[in-house]
Amino acid sequence: MNQPHIIDLAKILDKRGNLSFFENDNQIPFEIKRSYWIYDVPGGEHRGGHAYKTNREFIVALSGSFDVVLDNGKEKKVFHLNRSYYGLYVPEMYWREMENFSTNSLALIVASTDYDEDDYIRDYSEYTEKINNA
């Protein structure tokens, strides 16, 4: 399903503390090429503000909470991430913002491609033009 959706991860409950995981090409629908994380976000800051031409991602709130706003040029959907046992799958060509980061929140993102600035669309009108001509 190449639509944004929440993917639930296994949750191994344990009196000593819980554990969740994902594996390459298993729980998430792509092969992981890259991981990065976003942290120490000052109150009120936004991240994102771009789309990727080919890169697909899976985003987990390892700690705290934040909103991921996805826009496909027609409608916007807000996904509130606040647990480490599920994440959001984001297909290519969705305009993405991340906002409302709680104090000490930590976003883990795994990506289907290596970092490539040429894969970014950072201009919203260029994005809508591309979507409408697709």
Annotated catalytic, 50?
A: yes
Spatial neighbors of 28 by CB under 8 A, at least 6 apart, are 7, 22, 58, 87, 89, 110
Nearer to ligand TYD, 9 or 108 (CB): 108
- Span near ligand TYD by CB under 6 A; candidates 12-20, 32-40, 62-70, 79-87: 32-40
Checking phi first, is residue 104 left (phi over 0); if not, alpha (psi -120 to 50) or beta? Answer: left
Does residue number 47 form part of the binding site for ligand TYD (CB under 6 A)? yes
Spatial neighbors of 90 by CB under 8 A, at least 6 apart, are 4, 56, 57, 58, 59, 68, 70, 96
The least distance separating ligand TYD from the CB of residue 122, rounded to whole angstroms, comes to 8
Interface residue with ligand TYD, options 32, 38, 62, 131 (CB under 6 A)? 38
Interface residue with ligand TYD, options 33, 34, 53, 83 (CB under 6 A)? 34
Does residue number 83 form part of the binding site for ligand TYD (CB under 6 A)? no
Give the full edge-to-edge strand order of the sheet including 86-90. Answer: 5-8, 86-90, 57-63, 106-111, 34-38
Binding site for ligand TYD (CB under 6 A): 34, 36, 38, 47-48, 50, 115
Q: Which residues are catalytic?
A: 50
